[in-house]
Structure 1
């Protein structure tokens, strides 16, 4: 049983942590909803790249041919990344840039892995889904935007925890889930706010906590580069720069030979932040719904095509990779997507009703209704 002083303190924490983060959490819930169904929306908008039908069992062309096709579109640019979707190995998405560390001016070419023909040039910085993703991830503000949203996520977690603490004394005279329909409009919204808040409690905590972790992604990757990647490439520290890259197909074949039970997730070209000036970084992934999100880097000498190092990712990177599918609900197929969408909509109601209750609380009539309901926010 909370003392009156403790109750007031928890109430203050719940009110202000909620108020500060509510508008931003509403924005994240609204932008996160289409991201749950991003593949379907891209298909409807015609921005999703579709692989043409070919005879069953058609062989794949070499990655060197894939790269030649992509670079023929932009001969002045060099390779940056090459990747495939988790569940579709028919298309290679090749990202090209002026330099390996470019942050703008990048181009992407989708190449059919079976015919070696260019299928499309997906736009990386425009369109509806790009706007939704950028608002959701960093508010178009880069790392500062991510860290700010991370802070809002921490406040959300505090609001949830304090709300749970306050729920028990509030419901001591009511049955669980009661919505007092005979009372005022504000009281009904208060009961609905509390009910949906408890129903979505676990989901909101999971999504809020994983969202906070995701906002640290840039910092986590930078620490991995400083901590582990620097050790993996240390023997090449004083070697002269490469004048010509060796076969990409040979490098990937070496990585596959090292990890025959894994698939290629993505390839980082020499000089990018996921490799070194002397290595192809071939990131292998598992084949189950969970392990498909977990990568194992294999560094391959970009000149000789020989594997020079491979290590399991440290726990902090693994935590980041696991948090991403949990946050977006995109690891359990359609049922998980629908569940995530319904819980997202319920959370929008919780956030909106909380804002409504605070605004109404500032009205004298609402304050009197609060006293009558036996509730002090």
Structure 2
């Protein structure tokens, strides 16, 4: 490779890395506990704990659970119900002052589906894990924070690609995994930086790309609402405002009949960003580990309980659904969590060593 081309790629690698490094260090540090969020929540006592009851204890219907949730949070309405994968008897309830309230103003808690008893979830309402999640997702800056992190993710991918381009001629002079221990500290760290960077290359690309997709989630959801959801509720465009919501008791059974072979992941109540003023939206998921992250909305008229549409998933929502668990290592159980954590730590070393190498070189050239 010609020296001029090498200098150009070196410039790209240096500055794309430097601009995003501090943000990536923050993301790597906050992402580490998020990989083990279930375990940390249990350790901190933040995971919902439900009473032990006989296995044949009947469950309350959804409308009874709605009343239990609204009685617990007077003056608020239920926005969403979601099922707890770790506790079959439990579900998550999200309430807020109004159906269309900002998600950051809502309150999340657990509900025992057999008794209607409430189980508080500190981790979902400002606990340690929520702090880590907000820092990782938007730095408490909302959409601007997400878009900034998406841009940093793109710079990270550019830094990886340019690093690979530079690594090829570098390795022509040395055997793979060579660390020149007899040389200066700077050279040893350069060799370690290159070695760890190339070993973690695939993981870094996967996490970088999925991170960019996740950071654009609000934009993708808005595109889905403006495109797919708008088309699904088009017949109701000129309908008068909803006067009375039909009880939610049979909503789940109706959705399961409309999407056979699937099960409910969450229900969006009328007026929320995932439904419309006139509909319950039941998001159904597949039965396999992969398809459980791909959601199909079933819209049910909130007055008559008639199924009005079963939506198709646009490709970008599938990409979002698959990228979220992959980003946090949720696909392969404990072994994948450990692998994600180890490589996350190695990435912190790569980022730190990159800063060190730039600083040393800057002092030498000064």
| TM superposition score category, shorter chain reference | over 0.9
Partner SS for 2:83: strand
- Once the two structures are overlaid, the 10-residue window that deviates more, 200-209 or 45-54, is 45-54
How many residue pairs were aligned? 365
Q: Pick closer, same or farther for the CA change 1:27–1:121 going to 2, 3 Å.
A: closer
- Once the two structures are overlaid, the 10-residue window that deviates more, 69-78 or 98-107, is 98-107
Q: Tell me how far 1:50 sits from its aligned partner.
A: 1.5
Q: 1:260 — aligned with what?
A: 260
Tell me the distance in 2 between the aligned counterparts of 1:340 and 1:123: 22
- Once the two structures are overlaid, the 10-residue window that deviates more, 159-168 or 67-76, is 67-76
Tell me the distance in 1 between the aligned counterparts of 2:241 and 2:359: 63
Q: 2:195 — aligned with what?
A: 195
Tell me the distance in 2 between the aligned counterparts of 1:122 and 1:263: 27
- Structure 1: runs of 5 or more not aligned: 369-377
- Structure 2: runs of 5 or more not aligned: none
Q: 1:41 — aligned with what?
A: 40
Tell me the distance in 1 between the aligned counterparts of 2:313 and 2:3: 49
What is the TM-score when the length of structure 2 is the normalising length?
0.97
Tell me the distance in 1 between the aligned counterparts of 2:18 and 2:7: 16
Aligned positions of 1:36-185 closer than 5 A:
36-103=35-102, 104-120=104-120, 122=122, 124-185=124-185
CA contact (8 A) 2:108 2:125 kept: no
- Once the two structures are overlaid, the 10-residue window that deviates more, 243-252 or 207-216, is 243-252
Tell me the distance in 2 between the aligned counterparts of 1:211 and 1:352: 20
Q: Tell me how far 1:123 sits from its aligned partner.
A: 6.1
Tell me the distance in 1 between the aligned counterparts of 2:333 and 2:58: 28
Q: Pick closer, same or farther for the CA change 1:267–1:56 going to 2, 3 Å.
A: same
Q: Tell me how far 1:173 sits from its aligned partner.
A: 1.4
Residues 23-63 of structure 1: per-residue CA shift (max 9 Å, x gap): 11011000000000011111111111112222223332211
RMSD over equivalenced CA pairs, Å: 1.4
CA contact (8 A) 2:262 2:285 kept: yes
- Once the two structures are overlaid, the 10-residue window that deviates more, 73-82 or 336-345, is 73-82
Residues 193-220 of structure 1: per-residue CA shift (max 9 Å, x gap): 0000000000000000010011110000
Tell me the distance in 1 between the aligned counterparts of 2:211 and 2:109: 30
Residues 317-361 of structure 1: per-residue CA shift (max 9 Å, x gap): 111111111111112110110000001001000000000111111
